[in-house]
């Protein structure tokens, strides 16, 4: 039983336990090429949150990992079977209720640990920050914390070498042989601005990829996944430990 994982601990422990920072892992339920499970983003979010929280806890930081929210924004995958979409407005309602609880109970720091590219919590945290000025609200996309180019030969952005390597490290029992995976080829937009990255439109997933993957998973290994996982969780643990030391009313350095 880990005292920093809410789903595992109990009221006997919690009623007198100081909690300075809540961590909310937020994933998605969606196809990940042919070879990774639908729960990939949720398993990654839970594992990253738990390991970062363990390191922060052992450094003396009073953190608590909330249960993962298993559905994300999948507006671009409407025709992919059993990709479950939560609209951004629904996410705001859920997040708002959770922040209200934390604020009322005096837990005034929240890190939303995002595990899915379709989720975008920044506008929600802007809006909730106005409503709850005592809260220090943060979000991170864990998959961007470490520089994936230092760990992988051909990083993509969905069920790619990175994500496949992480899952080989965490849950190899749920990964099909890589011979079963598609190539994860991404078809590029006809619009120059979108290809260059300065214009944006929702990707229509069944047109942008043949196999729902974006990025070739062929070079994935558990060893690469372990190295990236360790680098990522160390950075997030450091974020938590720094956050614990910051006064919510004095967040900026003057020197």
Binding site for Zn ion (CB under 5 A): 40-41
Q: How far is the CB of 117 from Zn ion (least distance, A)?
A: 7
Q: How far is the CB of 195 from Zn ion (least distance, A)?
A: 23
Return all residues near 238 (Cβ < 8 A) that are at least 6 apart.
none
Q: Kindly give the interhelix angle for 161-171 and 222-244, rounded to the nearest 10 degrees.
A: 90
Q: How far is the CB of 240 from Zn ion (least distance, A)?
A: 23
Q: How far is the CB of 24 from Zn ion (least distance, A)?
A: 17
Residue 64 or 225: which CB sits closer to Zn ion?
A: 225
Q: Give the residue closest to Zn ion by C-beta.
A: 41
Residue 40 or 233: which CB sits closer to Zn ion?
A: 40
8 Å CB contact between 46 and 67: no
Residue 52 or 159: which CB sits closer to Zn ion?
A: 159
Q: How far is the CB of 210 from Zn ion (least distance, A)?
A: 17
Residue 69 or 107: which CB sits closer to Zn ion?
A: 69
Residue 41 or 51: which CB sits closer to Zn ion?
A: 41
Q: How far is the CB of 216 from Zn ion (least distance, A)?
A: 15
Residue 40 or 140: which CB sits closer to Zn ion?
A: 40
């Amino acid at each position: 039983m880990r005292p920093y994982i809410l789903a595992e601990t109990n009221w006997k422990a919690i009623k007198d336990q100081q909690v300075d920072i809540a961590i909310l892992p937020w994933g998605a339920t969606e196809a990940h090429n042919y070879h990774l499970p639908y729960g990939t983003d949720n398993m990654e979010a839970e594992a990253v949150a738990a390991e970062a929280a363990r390191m922060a806890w052992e450094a003396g930081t009073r953190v608590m990992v909330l249960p993962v929210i298993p559905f994300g924004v999948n507006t671009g995958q409407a025709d992919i079977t059993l990709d479950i979409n939560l609209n951004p407005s629904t996410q705001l309602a859920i997040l708002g209720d959770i922040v209200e609880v934390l604020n009322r109970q005096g837990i005034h720091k929240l890190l939303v640990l995002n595990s899915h590219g379709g989720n975008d919590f920044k506008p929600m945290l802007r809006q909730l920050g106005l409503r709850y000025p005592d809260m220090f609200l943060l979000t991170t996309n864990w998959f961007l914390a470490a520089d994936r180019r230092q760990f992988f030969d051909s990083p993509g952005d969905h069920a790619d070498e990175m994500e496949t390597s992480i899952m080989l490290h965490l849950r190899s029992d749920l990964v099909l042989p890589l011979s079963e995976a598609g190539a994860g080829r991404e078809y590029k937009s006809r619009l120059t601005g979108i290809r260059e990255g300065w214009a944006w439109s929702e990707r229509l997933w069944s047109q942008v990829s043949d196999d729902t993957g974006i990025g070739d998973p062929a070079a994935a290994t558990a060893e690469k996944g372990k190295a990236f996982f360790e680098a990522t969780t160390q950075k997030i643990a450091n974020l938590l430990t720094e956050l614990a030391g910051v006064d919510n009313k004095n967040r900026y350095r003057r020197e």
